[in-house]
Structure 1
């Protein structure tokens, strides 16, 4: 999981490559529920780079991307959005894997 150091680095990932942006926050119980499963999900989908985005640190980006609930996932390929799993509900490993399979499909 890549954690961008600043807004410029985050912007680079948004423009290049096949990426899954994982919007999260330290205080978010549902985010902390899914975090232990993220290495397994990453291993299942090696074609993607996974970028963890702290919603509080990048509030402007979250607002611009219409991320109003976390945890949320946005998949991009060279700057083009391929899909999103964005809501405020707790997500399971199976739900995230199914979403990524569908986007990849």
Structure 2
């Protein structure tokens, strides 16, 4: 998983122009984020066609505002620069919920 400590929306937009991406919005203080992080390598392995990008909410608050991310952890799926789905709410997410969400987009 790529980890971007700080970026701006222009950098992110350029990065996701081609291919399939899963943006994983998280924060170090977020207990629900810490809950799902150990499962992320397994989720990534299940979807080798996607590049997963971890975005720290606190270090990239402008990006979160631009993408309208108000709860974490949140997942936004991009295909060739276009959003095709999002799993965004304030609830804890399970590995099963995340994999079902991504599968539903294929």
Number of aligned pairs?
104
Query: 1:12: Cα distance to partner?
Result: 2.5
Give the 4+ runs in structure 1 shifted more than 4 A.
none
Unaligned residue ranges in structure 2 (runs of 5+): none
Conservation of the 8 A alpha-carbon contact between 1:75 and 1:83: yes
Partner of 1:53 in structure 2? 55
Partner of 1:98 in structure 2? 100
Partner of 1:76 in structure 2? 78
When the two chains are superposed, the root-mean-square deviation of aligned CA atoms in Å is 1.3
Q: So what's the TM-score if we normalise by structure 1? A: 0.93
Task: Supply the distance in 1 between the matched residues of 2:33 and 2:93 (Cα, whole angstroms).
Answer: 8
Query: 1:17: Cα distance to partner?
Result: 1.9
Q: Does 1:37 align with 2:18?
A: no
The equivalences for 1:9-28 within 5 A come to 9-28=11-30
C-alpha distance after superposition, 1:74-96 (max 9, x if no partner): 00012100100000100000000
Conservation of the 8 A alpha-carbon contact between 1:4 and 1:10: no
Query: 1:6: Cα distance to partner?
Result: 4.0
Q: So what's the TM-score if we normalise by structure 2? A: 0.92
C-alpha distance after superposition, 1:21-46 (max 9, x if no partner): 00000000000000000000000000
SS at match of 1:21: strand
Query: 1:9: Cα distance to partner?
Result: 4.3
Unaligned residue ranges in structure 1 (runs of 5+): none
Task: Supply the distance in 2 between the matched residues of 1:88 and 1:103 (Cα, whole angstroms).
Answer: 21
